Chains A and B, each alone.
Chain A
Amino acid sequence: MQIYKDYKDHADFLTVYVREAHPTDEWQMKSNVKEDVCYAQPKTLEQRVAIANDFVKRFNYPTQFGIDDMSNAANDAYAAWPERIYIIEQGRIAYRGGMGPFNYHPEEARTWLAARYGEVKHEASTATPDKKSN
């Protein structure tokens, strides 16, 4: 979550949990089995809340966190599934990331923030690669 650490003084961050991408009862990935991330697709909002809390606790996730409801309203409004990043400024879309996984590029959001607030550089040995939870 390096991008959050680097720009939290300039921007707000909100993570939104949407329907699972690779649950055990759909298209499960071997990598998730290996990492013990095995959940069935939630059928109730309570199940979504439980998985979201597991995620936040496991990674000590620092940003504001919201959970999409079972009507998938946020997902539908933002075409968010399976993963996507937006930046909103003054009520308008300022950056629209591509649809994951193939077009999910958190570095683009970093570039947007860097253009606005300046680049934050890290030593090569301590830099954390930007991945899904950026």
Chain B
Amino acid sequence: MLKWVGAAVVLLILGAVIGLSVMAGGLRGAYGMVRYALPHMHRGTLRVGDDAPDAALLALDGSSRFHIRGRTGARPLVIVFGSYT
């Protein structure tokens, strides 16, 4: 029995490694995904209809600040989150 459980665990781990490698483009990518990406990826709890959270942002000049809510008005606000890399 123990042997079968061990084999199942090994197969699961192997499947996970292969799956992640395919998604991330190789073993190194799979490591990067697990080590650096997964800890920062969250589905979040916001739903359509929820109040939009506010947050302070820094402008490109590096000194002035504004709030997301300060940019919402009569028109819809499309917010695109991302980075350069």
Q: Are B29 and A27 in contact (CB under 8 A)?
A: yes
Q: Are A12 and B46 in contact (CB under 8 A)?
A: no
Nearest residue (CB) in A for B74 is A90
Nearest first, the 5 closest Cβ-Cβ pairs linking A and B are A79-B44, A66-B57, A27-B32, A80-B81, A77-B53
Query: B66-79 interface mask toward A, CB cutoff 8 Å, 1 = contact, 0 = none?
Result: 10110111011111
Q: Are B52 and A93 in contact (CB under 8 A)?
A: yes
With A14-B68, A27-B29, A74-B55 as given contacts, are A93 and B48 in contact (CB-CB < 8 Å)? yes
* B positions within 8 Å CB-CB of A: 23, 29, 32-33, 35-37, 40-60, 62, 66, 68-69, 71-73, 75-85
Contact of B41 among A14, A46, A81 (CB under 8 A): A81
B31 to chain A, nearest CB (A): 8
Q: Are A99 and B41 in contact (CB under 8 A)?
A: yes
A27 to chain B, nearest CB (A): 3
Chain A 76-109 residues near chain B, CB threshold 8 A? 77-96, 99-100, 102, 109
Contacts of A73 in B (CB 8 A): 55-56
Nearest residue (CB) in A for B54 is A77
Q: Are A14 and B56 in contact (CB under 8 A)?
A: no
